[in-house]
Structure 1
Amino acid sequence: MTPAARTQAAIDLLDAIVAAAADNGAAADTLIARYFAQRRYAGSKDRRAVRELVYAAIRLLGERPATGRAAMIALARTDPAIAATFDGSTHAPAPIASDEVAAAPGIAPAWLIERLAASGLDDAEQRALSGRAPLDVRVNTLRTTPDTVAADLSEPQPIAGLPDSFRLPAGTDLAPFAGRLEVQDAGSQAVTLAARAQPGQTVIDLCAGAGGKSLALAAAMENRGRIVAADVDRARLRRLEPRASAAGATIVEPLLLDAGREAEALADLGGAADTVLIDAPCSGTGTWRRNPEARWRLTPARIDRFVATQRHVLALGAPLVKPGGALVYIVCSLLDAEGRDQVDAFLAAHPGWQAEDLSLPLGRPHGHGVRLTPAHDGSDGFFVARLRAPC
């Protein structure tokens, strides 16, 4: 592909990504994979170059652009080499008209900027949300040790405070390390430590998804005890079983919940858990470095739905905690409505429950919990709180 053809391919992909964001369709990575699956002639360098153009345009724009062309024109105005590819040649985009409107650069939609600011994130914190995320991995201590696996890695950088973790160069091939390494952001690893999981305990991972935190808990518990990994999403939960098998995590029990009837499936677990971990569905504002187009998918109504869901899972989780046990609430959001405010509301509605102080390797105190941000911690953004049930 010529440089101009790569620019046109990026425009075509951005059109698809913009449409998917408006209709809550497939993620950008999925759309890119589908695009190139139908264009086998594109070599690896072409695919990489087009992908970089697409994500550079997405990161540049806070508001969802009207078209992929408007997005690429905005990027072209930051790079003369890209602007030169709008030459109208074969497979190239048409020349940019003098009065053609480009999409406006920014960090996020204006209404979201207001909410981020109201949640205590200054300009520097907001700008960091559109950076690039590093490649962090957790060593699966059920299969190996950090020293052993480090000998087989290229340039592993230890992560302060997380002795079983490394930060690796982008593009590191992890296929040879299946079962020994798990891709997991440093922030995600840090907030999982709030569970203080110990061998022999019963832990319920109430929004387990594909089980990343369940696997980390199994390692912390040395495969002794019980982890119930529950979720309403059958497709995501189905991915847990092969992951647990590869990791040697034998204490993880997947439990599929029926949305709206979750309490029925959880009834036998009432008051049984030393810890209930709730990694709640959320807006994902802390993960924009990995999923920058997620900014284009959010609306005030969608955030309201997330807030309602978070209240629902908190209400489900509380009765499962044994007297004196803990509920650990986590969101990968930096909006107070989904983090600090949810914990404040829970404590007000549940007399006798208390927030415990947290000492984590990353983050700063925020309300009754701890908040991690890309600017301060070099990780994804999270809010986590540990709540102690009355005895």
Structure 2
Amino acid sequence: MTPSARVQAAIDILDAVIDAARGQGASADRIAAEWFRARRFVGSKDRRAIRDLVWNAIRVCGDVPVNGRAAMLRLAKGDTTLTALFDGSTYGPALITADEPVAEGGIAPAWLVDQMAASGLDADEQAALLGRALLDLRANSLKISRDELRAGLPVQAEPTAAPDGLRLPVGTAAESWPEFAEGLFEIQDSGSQIACMALGVQPGEAVVDLCAGAGGKTLGLGAAMRNTGKLLACDIDRNRLSRLPDRAMRAGVLVETRLLNPGRELEALADWAGMADAVMIDAPCSGTGTWRRNPEARWRLDAKALARYHTMQANVLDIGAKLVRPGGRLTYVVCSLLDAEGAGRIDAFLNANREWSVALPGLPAGRPHAKGWRLTPFRDGTDGFFFATLVRRVN
């Protein structure tokens, strides 16, 4: 493909991404993958170049652009090399006219920038949310130590702050390695690994991962438990939860999975009421801390969606609290840096549940924030997280 044709291809993909963002459709990753699948003639170098153009354009547009061309023109602003590729050539984008729309720049829609500022995120912290995500893995301590794994990998890997964490060069196809097939590691951001540490699970405990999804944190909890005690992974999403058994088998983690019906979760968990030593709540949230991976997600969020997340977060906190025995604990986690989803949820819970108190565990990265702990891309090189560990008083 010519450089101009690459630009037009990126514009075409951006049009689909923008339409999906407005209609809560497929992710940018999925849209791009389907676009390339339908055009198998596009070579690997062209694919990389087109993807870079798409994601760079998404990152520089604060609000939803009117179309893909407007987004690409924002990226081209001040870049004479890119601007020159709007040359009207065959398969390339049309010449630029003086009156056509150019997308607005910025970190996010204005209302969301205000929310981030109110949550203590300065300009540097906000900008880092749109950087390029690094690739971390967690050595599976049930099978291998971090040092042993590091020594045997085909690329150079650097230890992260997480005790079992390693960081690989961006773009490494780690899931194609035999070490992955053997269950020696999982792909997991170091921030997610540290959030698991906050629950402090021990061998022999009874532990519930309430919003387990596909089980990334579940597998980390199982490794910390050394396959002793009881580990239950739950979710209301059948498709996501169905991926966990195969992952657990590969990792050698013993875990029970349980599909929950929305609105009737406590009925399905009646046998665990007041019995759990520890509960992990990886709550549904806006995902502002994961924009490095999904920058178009900020175009999908509005005040109504945020309010819906608040309701879901309060609900899972209430459910999780009912599972914890006196003296037990729960860790509430969101991959969001908005106080309305993190610190505010914890304050509301504690005000309504006086038998609970906060425990601030010592962790290898991050810092205290309100009544919990915060990790950010700017300061910690991880995805953005807020989490808080709460302890139920013994009556």
Bin of the TM-score, shorter chain as denominator length: over 0.9
Correspondence 1:370 to 2:373: yes
Correspondence 1:224 to 2:225: no
What is the Cα deviation at residue 147 of structure 1? 2.1
Match of 1:30 in 2: 30
What is the Cα deviation at residue 173 of structure 1? 2.3
Distance in structure 2 (CA, Å) of the matches to 1:142 and 1:3: 48
Distance 1:78 1:255, change over 3 A: farther
The superposition leaves residues 305-332 of structure 1 with CA deviations (integer Å, 9 ceiling, x where unpaired) of: 0000000001111110011000110001
The superposition leaves residues 161-201 of structure 1 with CA deviations (integer Å, 9 ceiling, x where unpaired) of: x2211111012221212111111111111111011011111
What is the Cα deviation at residue 35 of structure 1? 0.3
Alpha-carbon contact 1:358-1:369 (below 8 Å) kept? no
Match of 2:242 in 1: 238
What is the Cα deviation at residue 272 of structure 1? 1.1
Distance in structure 2 (CA, Å) of the matches to 1:347 and 1:30: 40
Match of 1:307 in 2: 310
More displaced 10-residue stretch of structure 1: 141-150 or 329-338 = 141-150
Alpha-carbon contact 1:133-1:289 (below 8 Å) kept? yes
Match of 1:193 in 2: 197
Aligned pairs (5 A) from 1:1-391: 1-153=1-153, 154-160=155-161, 162-174=162-174, 175-176=176-177, 177-178=179-180, 179-250=183-254, 252-391=255-394
What is the Cα deviation at residue 101 of structure 1? 2.1
Q: Letter of the aligned partner of 2:185 in structure 1?
A: L
What is the Cα deviation at residue 79 of structure 1? 2.1
Tell me, what secondary structure is at the counterpart of 2:315?
helix
Distance in structure 1 (CA, Å) of the matches to 2:360 and 2:219: 25
Tell me, what secondary structure is at the counterpart of 2:40?
coil
Distance in structure 2 (CA, Å) of the matches to 1:106 and 1:359: 36
What is the Cα deviation at residue 143 of structure 1? 2.0
Distance in structure 1 (CA, Å) of the matches to 2:101 and 2:27: 26
Tell me, what secondary structure is at the counterpart of 1:315?
helix
The superposition leaves residues 125-151 of structure 1 with CA deviations (integer Å, 9 ceiling, x where unpaired) of: 111111111111100111222122112
Q: Letter of the aligned partner of 2:156 in structure 1?
A: E
The TM-score, its normalising length taken from structure 2, stands at 0.97
* Runs of 5+ unmatched residues, structure 2: none
What is the Cα deviation at residue 284 of structure 1? 0.4
Distance in structure 2 (CA, Å) of the matches to 1:261 and 1:23: 29
What is the Cα deviation at residue 232 of structure 1? 0.2
How big is the alpha-carbon RMSD for the aligned residues of Structure 1 and Structure 2? 0.9
Tell me, what secondary structure is at the counterpart of 1:85?
coil
Distance in structure 2 (CA, Å) of the matches to 1:123 and 1:47: 32
Distance in structure 2 (CA, Å) of the matches to 1:36 and 1:233: 28
Distance in structure 1 (CA, Å) of the matches to 2:266 and 2:369: 31
* Runs of 5+ unmatched residues, structure 1: none
The superposition leaves residues 15-38 of structure 1 with CA deviations (integer Å, 9 ceiling, x where unpaired) of: 000010111100000000000110
Alpha-carbon contact 1:364-1:370 (below 8 Å) kept? yes
Across the two proteins, how many residue pairs are aligned to each other?
Answer: 389
Distance in structure 2 (CA, Å) of the matches to 1:358 and 1:200: 20
Q: Letter of the aligned partner of 1:145 in structure 2?
A: S
Tell me, what secondary structure is at the counterpart of 2:85?
coil
Distance in structure 2 (CA, Å) of the matches to 1:24 and 1:140: 36
